[in-house]
Amino acid sequence: MAAPLLKDILYYQTGGRCQEFVEPATIAELAAAIKRLNAKGTSFIPVGAGTNSLFMDGDYSGAVISFRKLDALEISGKKIRVGAGVDNTFFSEAVYNAGLAGAGWMNRLPGQIGGTVRMNARCYGGEISQIVREVTVVTRSGDIVTYNEPKNMFRGYKDTIFMTNGDLVCEAVIELRSGDMQEVRSKMDFCAKDRIGKGQFTHPSCGCVFKNDYAVGVSSGMLLEEAKVKLMKHAGAEVSPAHANFVFNKGATARSILELSVMMREAVWVMFGVWLEYEMEILGAVPKDLELTIFEERPASYNLEKLTPLRDRMKAALARSSSGQDTLNSV
């Protein structure tokens, strides 16, 4: 199959062609493909739905690995074996239809199971680490390995071992529970309504560009909003009017999205002395002239006069949150 244009298949709609597009239908096929790529010295990048990543412009001289065909979903009692390529919303609906509770929060969470496991995605009081029991991966050297100790995979907020070792997540075993299915439906409906109400799907984005930093005690969205980045525009990239941590692609290149993110990060630095860390995964090569800026790290230099009132506001919002939702990390 000819390699598709990446911007046509990735949610953020950036990226050119890759040298090779690998779309295995089984885990063994993926393992063999990785061994073959390694033997040829071809680099490779895994992609899910592209809802948390930005593929850089131009052609990529390696292989792109897609999990779309690893889309099996087998329910056996309360355990579900699910392929990396299964869409989160599809999964949430399927397990709801099977009378299982515990995955309502995944309704309308963009992305596929593989990317969701790798990113330890979370929202509306749920986190994928809470329900995953086992993950089968293909390592960077092409071996098939199964992890069955969640604590060896999930290291905390938006942090997993797969982000460091580069394992390719192929399938997960998820364990759910029985529960009040009306409550689950209400949760699913709430998640969908809330996201739609916040205009999250009006244009392509990667969700939050920056992670929250719990040491700061204020969400990155609030810091960005106070730093007046909302509606900031740059060459087709635009900060969402509803969420200052979302950058919409309205005809942008990956480069212009990155440049806008740099301006946002700088605005927060100047006002609060907080150096935001990217949540958005940058795939492919960052242009040389942007490398130093993008990968720069600055030690925190908090402006407490500005931060303290926001911390108080955040604490009050957390206390008010009747749903028990973690407002600091909500969408």
109 binds ligand FAD (CB under 6 A): yes
In the complex with ligand FAD, which residue's Cβ is closer, 276 or 307? 276
Taking each continuous run of H as one helix and of E as one strand, the counts in the chain are 10, 17
**237-266 mask for ligand FAD (x: CB under 6 A)?**
------------------------------
37 binds ligand FAD (CB under 6 A): no
**Only segment of 28-36, 111-119, 286-294, 299-307 that touches ligand FAD (CB under 6 A):** 111-119
281 binds ligand FAD (CB under 6 A): yes
Written as six digits, the tokens of 227 are 């730093």
**Residue appearing with tokens 């969470």:** 109
Q: Are 154 and 120 in contact (CB under 8 A)?
A: yes
53 binds ligand FAD (CB under 6 A): yes
Written as six digits, the tokens of 118 are 């790798």
Pseudo-torsion of CA 64, 68, 69, 72, nearest 10°?
140
Written as six digits, the tokens of 129 are 């680490």
In the complex with ligand FAD, which residue's Cβ is closer, 92 or 116? 116
**190-229 mask for ligand FAD (x: CB under 6 A)?**
----------x----xxx----------------------
In the complex with ligand FAD, which residue's Cβ is closer, 230 or 307? 230
Residue 119 burial class via C-beta count within 10 angstroms: exposed 0-12, middle 13-18, buried 19 and up = buried
Distance of CA 324 to the CA centre of its chain: 22
Q: What are phi and psi of 295, to 5 degrees?
A: -90, 5
Type of residue numbered 285: A
283 binds ligand FAD (CB under 6 A): yes
* Closest CB to ligand FAD: residue number: 48
Written as six digits, the tokens of 281 are 């995964």
Which residues form the interface with ligand FAD (CB under 6 A)?
Answer: 11, 45-53, 67, 84, 109-112, 114-116, 118-119, 121-123, 162, 168-169, 200, 205-207, 281, 283, 331
